[in-house]
Amino acid sequence: MNESIRRLEEKIAYLERHVTEQDKVMLELGEELAALRREFRRIRDQASGARGDAAGESGTDADERPPHY
């Protein structure tokens, strides 16, 4: 009986350590995901801002007279 209790205690210790390691990895992955989302938003905002600037410039060029007039 003592041997089976010892094996169960070893398994519990192993599983507790495994859960702790998984928690650390999940926390790191969550932080990395948050950082990637912020980076994606920043890049998306830059791209939409660049498109908006390009559209705005083309609109002002169409309204202006060419220099030969």
How high is the pLDDT of residue 65? 74
Residues 7-54: pLDDT tens digits? 999 999 999 999 999 999 999 999 999 999 999 999 999 999 888 776
- The two three-digit tokens of residue 1, written as one number: 């009986």
Measured at the CA of 13, the angle between CA 27 and CA 6, to 5 degrees, comes to: 170
Residue closest to 13 by CA, chosen among 21, 27, 25, 28:
21
Whole-prediction pTM value?
0.59
